[in-house]
Amino acid sequence: MTTAVLITGASSGIGRATAERLLAQPGFTVYATARQPEAIADLGRAGAKVLALDVTDEASMVAAVGAVEEQHGSVGVLINNAGYGEYGTIEEAELDAVRRQFETNVFGFSRMIQLVLPGMRAAGAGRIVNIGSMGGRVTFPVGGYYHATKYAVEAITDALRFETAPFGIHTSLIAPGLIRTGFGATASRTLAASGKAAGPYAALRAAADEQMATSYASPVLAAEPDAVASAVEHAVTSRRPRPRYTVTPAAKAIVQSRRFLGSGLFDAYLRLQFKSKK
């Protein structure tokens, strides 16, 4: 009998790369999900089971988990990947947009965990792999609310790992750095729409947008989605998965720099990085 792997947000980026990797692994039945199943029809042709799943819709989440459990008894592996970045300054960001971001990145993420856990506990086994971010340990300007969602993912994952270990459930956090997906474009688009062109934070927003574009284009700072998929694969297949995987050398360096520099020196570093060059 194969292990059922349920992946949220598989239409692009990290979710898609993970589905493609695990389809090549023996012993797994991969359930790839997206809000629009037609967006992942090619994964179905490659061997995945395709399901509709919107992590902001309760009925959708219940139906997807139920479909997997009907065939396998329980979800063997949950890869909690769905999420996005809504950018803007703390003062200017629309709180309705902030709420939508939390609904996906925190509440939908948490509800998926709640739905799969009873089956995993009954089976006495299971794995939960949560896709977080280096942004759950380091905060950059104009992304405060996004970072708050990823700090929440860190806290939830740490608590979950301890709470469920007695039931044979392994929990891992994947913390990527800059990955070349649609994330950067979404962050840039939402940042541009978040404040007035001549507002008090216009120069900061312009500098941040320039910094993001440069960083995502850098072969040193950014990586392809498969780098994250490789870490997910290890968390899923290893006999002893790690509690946390930080992906990309740049992400590891930034996290450690923030830890050792402290707030004052790190703020000084940010002032240099986010100074407008125009």
List, by residue number, the catalytic residues. 146
d(CA 174, CA 177): 10
Q: Quickly tell me which residue has 């927003």 as its tokens.
A: 205
* Element spanning 101, H or E: helix 95-102
User: What is the bridge-based pairing of β-strands 126-131 and 28-34?
Assistant: unpaired
d(CA 249, CA 144): 23
Helical axes 95-102 vs 144-164, angle rounded to 10° = 20
CB atoms within 10 A of CB 273: 14
Rounded to 5°, angle at Cα 184 from 245 and 255: 35
